[in-house]
Chain A
Amino acid sequence: MLNETNRPILDAILDELIPPSEDGKIPGAGALGVAEFLPTANAYAPDAAGSVRTILDAVPADFVALPRDEKVTALKRVEAAHGQAFETLVRLTYMGYYSRPDMRPHFGVGAHPIHPLGYPVARESDAMMDELTAPVRARGKVYRDAR
């Protein structure tokens, strides 16, 4: 599906769907290599490869060289003309990007498989719980008798 000609175009598209952070510390989806996830994504979209092809065929041939604002304009035009394929590409891009463990810490989430470590979260002390629930307890019963 991807070759030396269309891979740079796809990377440029992906970098517009999820752009890098302004300080450059968080890469965009193209630079991260999300393109490599797309051919494996048939489990998550019935025609992943077809959707990618549709969008690649629809963007201008000189997409990579366009200034950033013109890239966005071109993609909005493609989105309007090929809604279903574009939505599929967006969804798969998000999946490919956020399934990368090295991306999760940028959003405060651990890179590790979530089991067996999980996260250390302390239980509230009895004193804190007493203080927080005091106004609720002070109001008394808030259910109806049914008899």
Chain B
Amino acid sequence: MQDDPVDVLIIGAGASGAAIAWSLLETRMRILCLEQGPHLEDKDFPSRDDDYELARYGEFSCDPNVRGLKQDYPINADESCITPVNFNAVGGSTINFLGHWPRMKPSDFRTHSLDGVGADWPVDYETLAPFYDMNDRNTGVSGLGGNPAYPDYTPELPPIPMGKLGQTLAKGFNEKGYHWWPSDVSILSEDHDGRQKCVNAGTCDLGCAAGAKGGTNFSYWPMLENAGVELRTGARVREIRVDKSTGFATGVLYHGPDGQVHEQRAELVVVACNGVGTPRLLLNSKSKTFPDGLANRNGLVGKNLMFHPLTGVAGVFDEPMLGHEGPMACSILSQEFYETDPSRDFVRGYGLHSGRSTTPMTYALGGYGIDNPIPWGAEHREIMDNVYPYLAGLTIVSEDLPEEHNSVTLDSDLTDSDGIPAPKITYKLGENTRKMLRHGEERAKEILLAAGAKKVLSKNDDKVWWRAGWHQMGTCRMGNDPETSVVNGWGRSHDVKNLFIVDGSIFPTAGAVNPTSTIQAMALYIGDSIKTKIETLFD
């Protein structure tokens, strides 16, 4: 079966796929987006249910191996200390992301020049700044201008409440003389653009039934569908095909909701499947021209996988911290230890995030992203009655450095429900990251005590959170040299001139901030580059 050819075929309706579709609207090209998941409605989000917390361990788990839904693909993470998490639906992982919206910083784009590690990006902060602004306007961003940790910019909406927890921790940072600032968030602090402001439900990971969180299902997709972008759900791409005589991509084969394999032809193919899904698709797109996978002549597709390894420290305070009231991950962010400091035993740095506390079930089961239930028996009663309500915590979010042995490959046995090979993750923590996390734990303890904690709870076991693989980067890195990168400085494959990649896989380095703001700014930048170069796009 062959569907009508389109001008632009975008694979994936998440953060980056939606952003580049918006950027390309003005070209009036025919744009089709294939998304393996469904288009969820408000009523599908579990936060309207009495037992909403249960969904976190079932159909709304962040872990596709737990959800196991038809649209999900399993991930073999047996050889990794972190498992990737995601969501497959229109909106992608912005359905269940937590809306934390920090930008990367100028030094993040120049780590090799400044610190001798990683790789410099082919773009810099100043180039990307207008695209950050553009994306913020489309998404709806709340925050406080004047943050001394960034070149000057001011979010459009005022900050969301820090709450008692954030205020308390801020005093601890002030006591120590450390930087902190109210978090920038893609969560509405005021009614905006026809969307309702946040009601402080604290269950951002279960999808925002209020529509206040800037998932692309609420921000970009209503605009895109109104503008005529065709969205085909339940459509899982199996492989990207190439013309062996021209070396150009001709389109894709995908499994449709009818259970049949379809061919969709396109002039230009954009891959937006995240740092695991994109290399998986390219590696599965083998041909005589590309026997090791599409766009993989230098063997770098799937290499240099980066996460943001996390660990946390919590303080027990005298009064209830009400941490469940307010957006789940966002209150304040310290970047005191973000930049390289030669006096430390590691390069680059980390952020200290004040996550709010989770709901009772999740805390009892070990916390968000952790499978380690608290003790049963009398100790359980003591913890839940006299510790849980009084907690405020800090999460250490570290910069991961690119290392080729950390990778995404195809599993030799495991497949999804359509028989497509599943991704296999091979990943271990670098020594630099371990030192960074240890440093962060010690600083977090000091800050919590300075904020008035009567006791500090720390794991002290050198382990990172298992389900911390939200941020999947580096597996199709961008760069100017075709020998050391998969795509060029504006997202086009070095090997296939009508193939673009726009998700986090193109990041040469990871920074130490949540990447979605940068992913979307990059997608808009790439869209702008396509428009600018349209006459010579495939040269």
The residue in B106, B110, B360, B385 that gathers the most chain A C-beta atoms within 10 A of its C-beta is B360
A95 at the B interface (CB under 8 A): yes
Q: Which residues from B are CB-within-8-Å of A44? A: 54, 57-58
Q: Is the Cβ of A142 less than 8 Å from the Cβ of B199?
A: no
A107-B389, A109-B360, A146-B106 are contacts. A122–B381 as well, Cβ < 8 Å? no
- Chain B, 315-349, CB within 8 A of any chain A CB: 320, 322, 324-326, 335-336, 338-340
Contact B201 A123 (CB under 8 A): no
B101 within 8 A of A: no
B64–chain A nearest beta-carbon distance, Å = 15
Determine if B381 and A99 form an interchain contact, defined as CB atoms under 8 angstroms apart: no
In chain B, positions 353-388 with a C-beta closer than 8 Å to chain A are: 359-361, 364-365, 373, 376-378, 380-381, 384-385, 388
Q: How far is the CB of A50 from chain B (nearest CB, A)?
A: 18
**A122–B158 CA distance with the chains assembled, in angstroms:** 13
Residues of the A chain whose Cβ atoms lie less than 8 Å from the Cβ of B45: 115
Q: In the complex, what's the smallest C-beta–C-beta distance from B160 to chain A, in angstroms?
A: 7
B203 within 8 A of A: yes
Q: Total interface residues on A, using CB and 8 Å?
A: 56
- CB of B462 within 8 Å of the partner chain: no
Asked if B54 contacts A99 (CB within 8 A), the reply is: yes
Contact A94 B361 (CB under 8 A): yes
Q: Are A18 and B376 in contact (CB under 8 A)?
A: yes
Which residue from chain A places its CB closest to the CB of B57 in the assembled complex?
A: A44
Given A137-B148, A142-B179, A16 and B54 contact (CB-CB distance below 8 Å)? no
Contact A115 B54 (CB under 8 A): no
A62 to B151, CA, bound (A): 70
Asked whether A107 and B388 contact (CB < 8 A) given A116-B199, A119-B202, the answer is yes
A132 to B173, CA, bound (A): 10
Q: Is B209 an interface residue (CB 8 A)?
A: yes
Contact B167 A132 (CB under 8 A): yes
Number of interface residues of B (CB under 8 A): 77
For window 162-198 of chain B, which residues contact chain A by CB distance below 8 Å? 162-163, 167, 170-171, 173-174, 177, 179-182, 189, 198
Tell me which residues across on chain B come within 8 A of A94, comparing CB atoms.
361, 364-365, 373
Residue of B nearest to A134 (CB): B174
Report yes or no: A121 in contact with B161, Cβ–Cβ below 8 A.
yes
User: Chain A 52-79, CB within 8 Å of chain B: the 1/0 string?
Assistant: 0000000000000000000010010000
Which residues from chain A sit less than 8 Å from chain B, CB to CB?
16-21, 26, 43-44, 72, 75, 87, 90-91, 93-95, 97-101, 103-104, 106-109, 113-124, 128-129, 132-133, 135-137, 139-147
Task: Please name the 6 residue pairs, one residue from A and one from B, whose CB atoms are nearest each other, closest first.
Answer: A118-B199, A98-B361, A146-B106, A119-B325, A118-B201, A99-B51
New A-B contacts (17) at CB < 8 Å, excluding given A18-B376, A75-B377, A98-B364: A17-B380, A44-B58, A101-B51, A107-B385, A108-B324, A114-B202, A115-B47, A116-B209, A118-B210, A123-B158, A123-B160, A129-B159, A136-B179, A142-B149, A142-B336, A144-B114, A146-B124
Q: Can you name 8 A-B residue pairings with CB atoms under 8 Å? A: A93-B376, A94-B365, A116-B209, A119-B326, A121-B163, A133-B144, A133-B181, A136-B174
Which of B's residues lie within 8 Å of A, judged by CB? 45, 47-54, 57-59, 105-107, 109-110, 113-114, 124-125, 144, 146, 148-151, 158-163, 167, 170-171, 173-174, 177, 179-182, 189, 198-203, 209-210, 320, 322, 324-326, 335-336, 338-340, 359-361, 364-365, 373, 376-378, 380-381, 384-385, 388-389
